[in-house]
Amino acid sequence: MDRRTFLGVLSIPALVGLSGGAAAQTSTEGRGYSGVATWLGPIDDRPDPDSFESVSGQVAYIAKDTGEIATATLGADSSWSPLPVRLVGYPQPELPTDLPTGALVFDENRNLPAWFDTDHYEYPNYVDDVLINPVTVANTTARTTVFDPDINANSLVAGRKYQIDLSGVFSTANNSDQFTIDVNLSGATDVAGIGNVGGNATNAPWSIEFAFTVRSHGQTGELQPHTKGLFNGEPIGSDHNVVTVDTTTVTELSVDIQWNAAAADNSVTVKQAHLKQMG
């Protein structure tokens, strides 16, 4: 179920592509329509319906990278049956603004379904760019990148929020040895971070959250970052200045860790990390 959001979709009207290339809106009025549990994820991650032995029922799957819609019956020797329709896709700058509220389309820039809400589009929350293997920075003062997610061009739109979460353990040689964690934007600017954390610790737990809200978008778009964390039980936080960024290009982020002293016992391990996109 990696990188997949489980949704309860209840009779949402959808804009679908017909075989002739035209678009039509499905109707949810009248009898015969009911809510079904709907998965959202990459088409290659679509689970085998037969693997759900202890549950049953009708489900649907929307492929977030192709817009294909398929249905299946869990636990009933069933396979996925693609519907003869798929969500109409648009580049994000060309998403129509004259649709009825609740219309469902496919955002080709974000590779996600999007539903129209009066005057803007809403997106499902999902986790992306997950760290698979732990990363350790030890016995060095070199600045080291431990996580480097990217955000697609034109995905940073005013009113959206993004969040990077990391957690792990750290140890220090003595009370004066400390490390910093910074978020860097496109290899040029540190936009958020926590400095001088450490103290006497052995395999102490830590976690940190870098959040930023998109204030405006475009070639001179603005992000408002904020940082909060917990290191060996001690809370720490930091507010940051608004950052200018060109949202029309790919936004490259990197999370970097750096020690103030090299020692065999100075070690910080990132065990979990992911980028979460909200709204």
pLDDT of residue 238 exceeding 80, the answer is yes
pLDDT in tens, 65-108: 777 888 888 776 778 888 887 788 888 778 888 888 888 888 88
Please report the pLDDT score of residue 134 as a whole number. 97
Spatial distance between the Cα atoms of 240 and 150, rounded to a whole number of angstroms: 21
Per-residue burial over 197-227, b = 16 or more CB atoms within 10 Å of its CB, e = otherwise: bbbebeebebebbbbbbbebbeeebbbbbeb
What is the mean pLDDT of the segment spanning 191-201?
Answer: 78
Could you tell me the residue ranges of all domains in the chain?
5-121, 128-278
Please report the pLDDT score of residue 208 as a whole number. 93
Residues 6+ apart with CB under 8 A from 189: 243
Distances (CA, A) of 269 to 165, 168, 190, 241, 263: 14, 5, 21, 28, 15
Please report the pLDDT score of residue 267 as a whole number. 95
pLDDT in tens, 25-69: 333 444 444 566 777 778 888 888 877 766 667 888 888 777 788
pLDDT in tens, 248-267: 888 899 999 999 999 999 99
pLDDT in tens, 8-22: 333 334 443 333 333
- Judge whether 159 and 117 are in contact, CB under 8 Å: no
Pick the CATH number of 128-278 from 3.30.460, 3.40.50, 2.60.120, 1.20.120: 2.60.120
Spatial distance between the Cα atoms of 130 and 127, rounded to a whole number of angstroms: 7
Site of tokens 């290659």: 44
Its pTM stands at 0.64
Count Cβ atoms below 10 Å from residue 99 Cβ, excluding itself: 18
Residue 80 structure tokens: 């996925």
- Judge whether 279 and 122 are in contact, CB under 8 Å: yes
Please report the pLDDT score of residue 261 as a whole number. 94
Under the banding of pLDDT at 50, 70 and 90, the label for residue 279 is low
Spatial distance between the Cα atoms of 217 and 154, rounded to a whole number of angstroms: 8
pLDDT of residue 148 exceeding 90, the answer is yes
- Judge whether 201 and 224 are in contact, CB under 8 Å: no
- Judge whether 165 and 207 are in contact, CB under 8 Å: yes
Spatial distance between the Cα atoms of 177 and 137, rounded to a whole number of angstroms: 14
pLDDT in tens, 105-133: 888 877 778 888 887 787 776 666 899 99
Mean residue pLDDT across the chain: 80
Per DSSP, the chain holds a count of helices (H) and strands (E) of 0, 24
- Which is nearest to 199 in space by CA: 236, 233, 172? 172
